[in-house]
Amino acid sequence: MSLIHPSAVIEDGAILGANVSVGPFAYIGSKVKIGDNTTVASHAVIEGKTTIGKGNRIFSHSAVGTIPQDLKFDGEDVELIIGDNNTIREFTLLNPGTKGGGSITKIGDGNLLMGYVHLGHDVILGDHCILANGATLAGHVELGDHVVIGGLTPVHQFVHIGDYAMIGGASALSQDIPPFCLAEGNRAVLRGLNLTGMRRHIEREEINALKSAYRELFEEGNPLQEVAQKLLESTQSDKVTRLCQFIKSSKRGIPFTRVK
């Protein structure tokens, strides 16, 4: 039995791997490449220069690879790259890059994008992230690995979010969130470490080192950049080093409540 429904439209030039399933009334454009064992559900639209890896599940009414929502876009050669084993739920909107942002939007492996998620142009998404329903990432946002963003949370353009960070639902994020941290609120500020997420993946010794570093950085009232540099020079923890390097390189600043 064919895995391609007869009502699906697949333009000449599209490349589909082995065991790709395409549901009723789906549309796949001429520049699309889809890896093995990927499923495309009914009414999904995949167009533009879009490359999709293996084992992905793309649900109904997703719009994948449609042109960027950027008034400066003028038909340039831009691209959307999606890795392996991602779940892209209903009514998601994934745009390719723009000339001004490197021309590529890139999604890693093993991510869950729930319903109505939007990834804007030039977004870089790591591996094993979870974006809950209605999370919206503006252009040029970068996420590390194992990031969780709660539902109905918008993220401002050019924001960076580090590995294992979590953003609470119904927040509004306009500044960078360091790795391993938890933030929430409108506007979102740091509330502590993402201990639940870390305990699933990180050794206790490293978690304890991060707890101590967090206190020094954000709870003792000393200048943030100075404390980060001091910790970089003294710590033996790889995770603390990553935390401090992120802080030192932040361009939008870190949102936290300063001790008076």
161 assigned to some structural domain: no
2 assigned to some structural domain: no
Q: Residue 62 is part of which domain span? A: 9-140
Single-letter amino acid, residue 146: H
Give the SS3 label for residue 170. coil
Total domain count, the chain? 2
Residue 177 neighbours by CB under 8 Å, 6+ apart: 159, 160, 161, 162, 165, 167, 183, 188, 190, 254, 255
Mean pLDDT of 210-229: 97
We report the CATH number of the domain holding residue 237 as 1.20.1180
- Lowest mean pLDDT of 2-6, 34-38, 66-70, 195-199, name the range: 2-6
233 assigned to some structural domain: yes
User: Is 206 found in the same domain as 108?
Assistant: no
Q: Which of 108, 140, 172 is the last residue of a domain?
A: 140
Cα(106)–Cα(125) distance, rounded to whole angstroms?
6
98 assigned to some structural domain: yes
pLDDT tens, 170-219?
999 999 999 999 999 999 999 999 999 999 999 999 999 999 999 999 99
165 assigned to some structural domain: no
User: Is 132 found in the same domain as 41?
Assistant: yes
Q: Catalytic residue numbers?
A: 121-122, 139
pLDDT tens, 49-62?
999 999 999 999 99
Q: Which of 91, 114, 140 is the last residue of a domain?
A: 140
Residue 9, sorted as left (phi over 0), alpha (psi -120 to 50) or beta, turns out to be beta
CB half-sphere exposure, 69, CA atoms < 13 A: 15
pLDDT tens, 63-107?
999 999 999 999 999 999 999 999 999 999 999 999 999 999 999
- Whether the bond between 200 and the residue before it is cis, its omega within 30 degrees of 0, is no
Cα(20)–Cα(26) distance, rounded to whole angstroms?
13
Residue 2 has pLDDT above 90, yes or no: no
Cα(20)–Cα(221) distance, rounded to whole angstroms?
56
190 assigned to some structural domain: no
Single-letter amino acid, residue 248: K
We report the CATH number of the domain holding residue 127 as 2.160.10.10
